Structure 1
């Protein structure tokens, strides 16, 4: 059994090696699960007892070490303010939750293998896996950071067809090749030939080459429709741990304006400022923002730019006479709801607000109806609120006076492919990501977050303008190429002429069709599990 544990660890190492931000290493994803599958097969064919538990353990080991090595920066963010032991305990939730779900998938695979052929069982394994990934982006502890299809973010030339399938197409591709390679290796180990090795090798070659070649052709021949717009992204480089205390909001705003002015052109149409860039002591009431000094500063700044608009993150509140939302908190004889929001200021009296919908569990909202509310004080340092943030139920597209539609995507929301596609479906012509990646310090977290934005560009064939408080800000074209990017922890601004796009990709129109097929596959697999054994 010891060798099987080593195989599980080998899988974890290969998957970590293949994961962003390590460049061009994504091809190792094609063999990442092979050692684990071999270990599981050895357990199934052994005389060991409690085989299901042992397979569960092997899968958990792979998932835990792969996840922990890839998202270690979660601990860094916590440990900046919390004691080490508390940081470790909290970090174990994202480190261990996805591996737990992965292990359940493999346990179900084992149950299928006891009754069915390896072909049917493999279909069930892939269906269960994609279903798990989808559910892990839908429930209260959602964290789809490690969705398998995200792994190709650093080799985007190979996955241009995400404009059809989204990231779940990548997950399916990875699993198909892993299973074929596993069959070749296992037949060699067991000295059996249930399927011709030659046929398997041809299948592996075709499975790798056909999607890759088609993608490269699509990548090299793709041409953007010429529809230019001048955009500026600003990186003020304000330490997030000092932003809400030591640096006056007025000083922060003036810094944003100064950086914008340095690179702006007379025809600049959008200035993108990062998450919570506009703030005030006690937060800003959305109904009274026009009377706020910050609003006057922004509109005065825009007077130099005839078609200029500021799209910025903002910390805002709304007041209600009654508890209008579940997150509204009593304050005297009224209720107040707090938001991590975005605002569009266009120089007129019109304001557009969007409230972040995909809130970070724990930091921005308490999962499971507040059952974990005892942990609220631990997250106060990260800009959260005592009662949790309010949110919008759906995306909102911002429109400039000239009619340009922008998708205001706030931080964590950018890892939801289907959610970003809803903006585009509603009319967004480019994607504006506003984020504050400084919580993680100079770790791979900031790099992964940037790379994942390339996937949103490809899925929707939209330019991405990314404004990050401390880095990395930049521009990504419709093929997923990073055209410009800033250095980490550097106050700066970038200007770029992008092409707006109004056409919808198949993925934007249809969404995650592969998820629905996987749900059907999972249901059929459960039926097979529940079906009585034939005598």
Structure 2
């Protein structure tokens, strides 16, 4: 058998089933997020019907083609490691689907429980959890980013729970193509009603206003230039631009003014003149000024990705990213995720890569943060900026908190506690985004207990799956 001869190994049915899954998966990367609810139906159908050795090849083909097209924007990032990152993503994504589809195929032939419909979401969550334990902490298979507006469901289940439901719905539909079972159909209708109700609730409910209203300002400087140019002009053109934008925003009397990650890619604490000017600006604006900058570590040339918090009273706080991007070799991890308090209002800061990590925002909220500040530098990410910004919505929805996301050139936005963008600045433009938010220190069930319900759901699903009740033959 010639393994590289796809026409010989994959029959016509395999190809016809692969094509719609590939097409829908790629369309998701262009904003057609609703396809997430059916994109994996053909793949799960194949996994349940076909031999695991066939699925090994099917998943290999699907993984390589889909990830190459889905993440094509990564290759266009103007970084020294763009090709390396692109290759790593393709390998990680492909390996994930190979593990998922071959496992589902193999186990489904061993288990003939009527609850085998639960097998795909259980396997998915187990692999997702395993990937999160890797040194580089991968959360990109958390597909709840494409449907974050699912409160109150997400307040209890968190992102993993919504991902479980996404895979469960795909699995239910796939099973109906295999065996027309009334119970499975009713179960699918039940899932649809629960999810649809949550989406409607998230999009049409009123935000509680008993925590007090606060005006905020987010600055999008739009400097789409190389890192070297930005460092050379940090205390010149860039600083002057952001100072002017800050004073203009101050006319609206905001409580807080946020500059994006690396707005000033030089250490402001090493230049007394610049630091004093920034302090005076915060005082003149009568607002808390949050500036994305860097903090050099001795004379090593390495630095922390830092957000400096300059308060109107002249005091200073700071936060350095505890989880910088793993390929940024010059960036050193910070060591604290303490909340920041100003005028009895508490908030936490997440930077760039930390948007994808649920435990950081959850940690802030569990400590009493009333909103979250997110800072990013999504330069040259193309359509990828839209996908990445979905993580912000997810963090807001999980913890029922406003999230304020300031970026260099997009997408700068203010997300409400239901995971909906209520204020958005046009990308690739110099913009000042002004909006009102409502504070709250309400901890969701997920905030207090994390993924407890999801782990319980997975455990109960495993028990049901291994029940020795004959349901039929899927071959």
TM-score between both structures, scaled by the size of structure 2 = 0.87
**Partner secondary structure for residue 455 of structure 1:** helix
- 1:506 maps to 445
Q: C-alpha offsets along residues 49-69 of structure 1, whole Å, 9 cap, x if unaligned?
A: xxx332122123333333333
- 2:38 maps to 31
1:221 CA displacement = 3.4
CA contact (8 A) 1:240 1:436 kept: no
Correspondence list, 1:207-222, <5 A: 207-217=191-201, 219-222=203-206
- 1:431 maps to 372
Task: Summarize the Cα distance change of 1:202–1:516 in structure 2 as closer, same or farther, 3 Å threshold.
Answer: closer
How far apart in 2 are the matches of 1:223 and 1:245? 41
Task: Summarize the Cα distance change of 1:482–1:107 in structure 2 as closer, same or farther, 3 Å threshold.
Answer: same
The total of aligned residue pairs comes to 455
How far apart in 1 are the matches of 2:170 and 2:413? 34
- 2:278 maps to 298
Q: C-alpha offsets along residues 107-139 of structure 1, whole Å, 9 cap, x if unaligned?
A: 222332232215465444322211222232332
**Partner secondary structure for residue 314 of structure 1:** strand
1:467 to 400, 406, 418: 406
- 1:322 maps to none
Correspondence list, 1:128-147, <5 A: 128-147=123-142
1:415 CA displacement = 1.7
- 2:472 maps to none
CA contact (8 A) 2:108 2:119 kept: no
Correspondence list, 1:399-414, <5 A: 399-400=341-342, 402-414=343-355
1:232 CA displacement = 0.8
1:521 CA displacement = 7.1
How far apart in 1 are the matches of 2:69 and 2:85? 16
Q: C-alpha offsets along residues 448-485 of structure 1, whole Å, 9 cap, x if unaligned?
A: 22233122221112112111101121222222232221
Task: Summarize the Cα distance change of 1:481–1:113 in structure 2 as closer, same or farther, 3 Å threshold.
Answer: closer
TM-score between both structures, scaled by the size of structure 1 = 0.78
How far apart in 1 are the matches of 2:238 and 2:441? 35
1:343 CA displacement = 1.4
**Partner secondary structure for residue 62 of structure 1:** helix
RMSD: 2.8
How far apart in 2 are the matches of 1:58 and 1:207? 28
CA contact (8 A) 1:222 1:479 kept: no
Q: C-alpha offsets along residues 55-103 of structure 1, whole Å, 9 cap, x if unaligned?
A: 12212333333333322211111xx355xxx854541211221220221
Correspondence list, 1:305-454, <5 A: 305-306=285-286, 308-319=287-298, 331=299, 338-362=303-327, 364-365=328-329, 385=330, 389-400=331-342, 402-440=343-381, 443-454=382-393
CA contact (8 A) 1:102 1:129 kept: no
Q: C-alpha offsets along residues 184-210 of structure 1, whole Å, 9 cap, x if unaligned?
A: 1113xxxxxxxx533332222121012
How far apart in 2 are the matches of 1:99 and 1:222? 41
How far apart in 2 are the matches of 1:412 and 1:268? 27
Task: Summarize the Cα distance change of 1:32–1:93 in structure 2 as closer, same or farther, 3 Å threshold.
Answer: same
Q: Could you tell me which runs of 5 or more consecutive residues in structure 1 were left unpaired when the two chains were aligned.
A: 45-51, 188-195, 320-330, 366-384, 529-535
1:160 CA displacement = 4.5
2:223 to 238, 249, 254: 238
- 1:370 maps to none
Task: Summarize the Cα distance change of 1:399–1:231 in structure 2 as closer, same or farther, 3 Å threshold.
Answer: same
1:413 CA displacement = 1.0
Query: Which segment drifts farther, 58-67 or 68-77?
Result: 58-67
1:170 to 159, 162, 167: 162
